[in-house]
Structure 1
Amino acid sequence: MNPESADAELAEPYLRGLLASAGLDVEYVRGEGNTLYRLDAQGQETPVLDYAGGYGSLIFGHNNPEIVARARELLDGSVPVHAQFSSHPYANRLAAELNRIVHRELGVDEPYYATFANSGAEAIEAAVKHAELDRVLRLSETLAELAAGVEEARAAVGDGSATVPDAVYAHLATERPAGDPLAPVIDEITRRNGERAAKAPVFLALEGGFHGKLMGSVQLTHNEAYRAPFAALGVRARFVPRGRPEALDEVLAQERGVLLGLAVEGGEVRVVEREHPVFCAFLLEPIQGEGGIQPLSDADARIIQEFADATDCPLILDEIQSGLGRTGTLLASSQMGLRGDYYTLAKSLGGGLAKASVMLVRQTRYRAQFELVHSSTFAKDAFSCHIALKVLEMLERDGGQAYRQASERGAALQATLEKVRTAFPDVVKEVRGRGLMLGFEFHDQSQAEHPAIREAAGGGLFGYVIAGHLLHGHSIRTFPTASAVNTLRFEPSVLLTDEEIGRLEEALTDVCVILREQAGERLVLSS
């Protein structure tokens, strides 16, 4: 064995090199609260204030003592992690508690059935698969209903109780035959229905949205760099711009189609139409995470809800990053008046320890057979379910104190970010978000005077270079959002203190001074 092989980078070496170019390739050895620890050159722990928060996975911070104690209790008790294909009462309790909170926030009592998974992207895949199963079954039911109507019309014409008027042939652009009057009619209906039913389902998603990088979910993510290499493998998605209500009308006009059948009324056969369920689902984040921390406006939320209701297009609300109390409620979308047919939750559901996610589907959409065609080796296990129950218990405790804390701490953090923006309007473009999910966007620096700043911006690394400076110059950790690299993300836990907010204000002020003065040589990317 080559003794040097131990030092070779075999775990995603290109990514490691990319991190190194911005000074972000550091190893963290411990975490607690909003703090991660790395070792300095002397091997001593150096605290780093973590504002990335596991991309929104740490509503109660790193290694929360109460959650860790519950995890130890479970492991010390030899809780079975692998007990597949058996009764899982703890999973049912978790689903019931999620339902209780969802019902309270939405003001409804319709059950939502739970399918558990291991990550956010897997929950999205489960929702998409279920939505397509539901669409296919609805399509089959509609076609069967229409076929039955055709047979009834055939029988009525055969026994002389009904005739075929010229309007039927005109409707289908066929001619009356010399023989069986329904033969060309049925042939044309069969042909048209076959063509329409064979059309691929259409998925709708918002421009700027991010729903994962798995084979299906990546095609629902707007960033073309993620989608394009795998386009031949994925589903067909149409991306809808925010703030353009007419865009949905355009999509409907282009995609809408009907299925045809026959009915007998007043002794005459007539052509009937049924809507073809072409839309599989509309996926959206109430607050786009990787798209730059972009909250959905109330106007857009209302338009999307109205479109979904009018077209019977299921809404999949991706609450993977925005949910679990981060904006002051379990569901950020509940503050916007949205009612999802599906919800996906993950990240903080695992309390920072377990890898857990869930897809919730409302009873009126639920298809029982989905449970037989979709499964997971690791999902719905006792450990992750009990940890998730502990997270919900902590969120709901003391009348929802954690929700109020997220709102209050988020407001304090946002006020500080706005203070910096106001002081540097030439540097900072906008502060966005809700609660403890905030974005801080810089103006474009691709034409900056200083070459280091200009080259970083031109190469798509601006946000990462700024993050490197915050890390090495101020011991603060954050990252830009994946598809909007001029926007830094701030997603700390509810444990955020005024002192920690003050440290961030000082650090961002330093960054803004460097950018205003075009003093790129002062950027610190190592320590």
Structure 2
Amino acid sequence: MDTNNSAAEGPELAEPYLREVLDMAGLAVEYVRAGGNTLYQRGADGGEIAIADFAGGYGSVLLGHNHPDIVRCARELLEAGTPVHAQFSRHPYANRLASELNRIVHRELGTDEPYYAIFANTGAEAVEAAVKHAEMDRGMRIVALGEELQRSADSARDAVAGGSVVADRVLRRFGVSAAAGPAAAFAELERHLTEHNTAQLERPPLFLALEGGFHGKLGTSVQLTHNEAYRTPFRSLAAQARFVPWERPEALKEIHERDRGVCFELVVADGQVDVAEREFPVFCAFLLEPIQGEGGIHVLTAEFAEAIQRFCEEIDCPVIVDEIQAGMGRTGTLLASSQVGLRGDYYTLAKTLGGGIAKTSVMLVRETRYRREFEIVHSSTFAKDSFSCTVALKVLELLETDGGAYRRVEERGAALRAMLESVRADFPEQVQEVRGKGLMLGLEFRDQSDAESEAVRGLAGSGLFGYFLAGHLLREHRVRTFPTASAVNTLRFEPSIELADEEIARLETGLRDICALLRDGDGSRLAGAATG
């Protein structure tokens, strides 16, 4: 198969190092056409070579490449001269899209509380919008808390002036002497509490996120992505996160006890001044994916989801559900999280929302959390336009019509999973596990670092193990997929609902070939692109 589709065009200036990595793994291929579940590249004779696409634009083309109804919608919009750039005006199409999203969300969650929509262009930008909104909300709650503490202090001061005294146990607790009299004791106590409270009220936010999670690579979202290689170069730029071990709900209380914030409030009861503790909202938000995409296709259980929901409600920490890769019908419902009973305060949706054509995303925030002031301090030049919103409405129409697309996801996903499980059963020494839901599945290979074959050990130690496997599938079997970015021993499969039985069979042949090569220690064939 010819993988060099383009003639020499001079030096590589568009991400040349990435091109070198793709070349090494045998993935530097130019695709010239796409349709359904297929990408096409040019062969040496100029003819097209069909490639079964199991990568699916990292999950962006659930309905297939260039779906005819979506293409028709896009063409009609452009031919009609739809206003792509009409910022700071009425956008009725955006409101229709927000209303349709609400209708589906209400059905899946069993609620009628509105979710307000902030539109964006990419998934990472939607996450940034959610995080910014949560921090604005936290900041406004902090201001309100500070004002309440001040009012309580004023009332307590008036009470002391009227003859009330500070309770002895309070004076002992804070190391204040009563020798100079009630007024002086109160003044000293107030000074101590004010210093403490001021320090608390100025604390920066902490975020909670799951180990293995991926939320983007922008300034803030990268700090909420667990992969340390992505975070470390930019650790001084953005907010800090506490990463919660996967399926360890007891760790939530441990983190809370270690990092929680407390403010002290002066209160008057039964003629005495006392001190009450007020929880300070140091935790800005808890970010999680219902199915971790880049972390290795790990599925959140209903039990862990319930524990997270209960914990966040107890400490008044909003939940941001990142549905960017798992949502938009990929698991058989619009929200993958609805299947485990999780309700988010925020949702982020992208990828298939644009039908594989429009670049669009949305952040949804429930009414009880919404801050309308956010609409003034946050904006995005290319968001909320007629083209992307109308295309997204067509996508929802195609997903929702008779529920056929959702049923197709379940049926095609079950067929694909059955094949993957059969490969695992036949090659237990090579395949660790099959994970996922619907058309978001992963096949984890066992660590080959101790393989008898030096060539296989070399692939395992390269940091690109899964990419070499993907290169072999492409080169030898005309199948396209990738490993998950933070777990390179796991190949991901996120095809469209157009997935055919023949394509599943072709993938099966390729996977069995890989397993046999690993079993036989034939690493040189797996690394064929790197060795020429």
User: Shorter-normalised TM-score: what interval?
Assistant: over 0.9
The match for 1:255 among 255, 259, 262 is 259
Structure 2 residue matching 1:470: 3-state secondary structure: helix
1:80 maps to 83
Matched, 1:478 2:481: yes
Cα distance between partner residues in 2 of 1:258 and 1:58: 47
TM-score by length of 2: 0.96
Q: Deviation per CA, 1:205-239, whole angstroms, max 9, x where unpaired?
A: 01000000001000000000000011011211011
Deviations 1:312-332 (A, max 9, x none): 111000000000000000000
Q: Gapped runs of 5+ residues in structure 2?
A: 1-6
Aligned-residue offset at 1:511: 1.1
**Corresponding residue of 1:131:** 134
Q: What one-letter code is carried by the residue in structure 2 that aligns with 1:347?
A: K
- Which whole-Å CA distance do the structure 2 matches of 1:158 and 1:71 have between them? 73
Match of 2:172? 170
Alignment of 1:382-397 (within 5 A): 382-397=386-401
Segment drifting more, 182-191 vs 217-226: 182-191
Structure 1 counterpart of 2:53: 50
Give the whole-Å Cα distance in 2 for the aligned partners of 1:435 and 1:259.
47
1:177 deviates by 5.6
Q: How does 1:400-419 map to 2 (within 5 A)?
A: 400-419=403-422
Checking the alignment, whether the CA contact within 8 Å between 1:177 and 1:184 is kept in structure 2 is: no
Distance 1:519 1:232 in 2: 44
**1:162-192 deviations in Å (ceiling 9; x for gaps):** 2323223123222226263321121111101
Q: Residues 33-432 of structure 1 correspond to what in structure 2 (within 5 A)? A: 33-160=36-163, 162-176=164-178, 178=180, 180-181=183-184, 182-398=186-402, 400-432=403-435
Deviation at 1:392, TM superposition (A): 0.5
Which deviates more, 269-278 or 83-92? 269-278
**2:455–2:522: 8 Å Cα contact kept in structure 1?**
no
Alignment check: 8 A CA contact 2:312 2:319 kept: yes
Which residue pairs with 1:18 in the alignment? 21
SS at match of 1:379: coil
Query: Is the CA contact (8 Å cut-off) linking 2:455 and 2:521 kept in structure 1?
Result: no
Alpha carbons of structure 1 residues 510 and 5: separation in structure 2 relative to 1, 3 Å: closer
Given that 2:121 and 2:361 are in contact with CA atoms closer than 8 Å, whether structure 1 keeps it comes out as yes
Q: Matched residue of 1:116: which SS?
A: strand
Letter in 2 for 1:167: R
- Report deviation, 1:387: 0.6
- Distance between the aligned counterparts of 1:323 and 1:333, measured in 2? 8
| Letter of the structure 2 residue corresponding to residue 145 of structure 1 | E
CA contact (8 A) 1:453 1:462 kept: no
- Rounded to whole Å, the distance in 2 between the matches of 1:283 and 1:146 is 30
Distance 1:174 1:458 in 2: 62
Tell me the amino acid that sits aligned with residue 272 of structure 1.
Answer: A
Deviation at residue 289 of structure 1 after TM alignment: 0.3
Would you say the 8 A contact 1:157–1:163 is kept in 2?
Answer: yes
Query: Could you tell which deviates more after superposition, 239-248 or 471-480?
Result: 239-248
Structure-1-length-normalised TM-score: 0.97
| 1:495 to partner: Cα distance | 1.1
- The 2-side partners of 1:171 and 1:109 are apart by 48
Shift of 1:6: 4.3
Q: Secondary structure at the match of 2:388?
A: helix
Which amino acid in 2 is paired with 1:11?
A
Amino acid paired to 2:201? A
Q: Is 1:7 paired with 2:10?
A: yes
Q: Once structures 1 and 2 are overlaid, which stretch shifts more, 246-255 or 474-483?
A: 246-255
Q: Which residue of 2 aligns with 1:29?
A: 32
> What residue number does 2:511 align with?
508
Report the more deviating stretch, 442-451 or 516-525.
516-525
Aligned length, in residue pairs:
522
* Paired residue secondary structure (1:317): strand
CA contact (8 A) 1:22 1:468 kept: yes
Where does the alignment leave 5 or more consecutive residues of structure 1 unmatched?
none
Per-residue CA deviations over 1:88-143 (Å, capped at 9, x if unaligned) read: 01101101110110010000111111100000000000000111111111111111
User: Secondary structure of the residue that 1:425 maps to in structure 2?
Assistant: coil
| Cα distance, 1:5 vs structure 2 | 9.9
- AA aligned opposite 2:150: A
Q: Distance in 2 between matches of 1:137 and 1:177?
A: 40
Could you tell me how far 1:449 is from its partner in structure 2?
2.8
Contact 2:23–2:529 (8 Å) recurs in 1: no
Question: Matched residues in 2 for 1:157 and 1:25: separation?
Answer: 77
Of stretches 294-303 and 206-215 in structure 1, the one that deviates more from structure 2 is 294-303
- Separation (CA, whole Å) in 2 of partners of 1:521 and 1:192: 64
Give % identity.
Answer: 63
Structure 1 pair 62–5 and aligned structure 2 pair: CA distance change class (3 A): closer
Q: Distance in 2 between matches of 1:261 and 1:485?
A: 51
Q: Alpha-carbon deviation of 1:196? A: 1.2
Shift of residue 345, structure 1, vs aligned partner:
0.3
Q: Is the 8 A contact 2:114 2:367 kept in 1?
A: yes
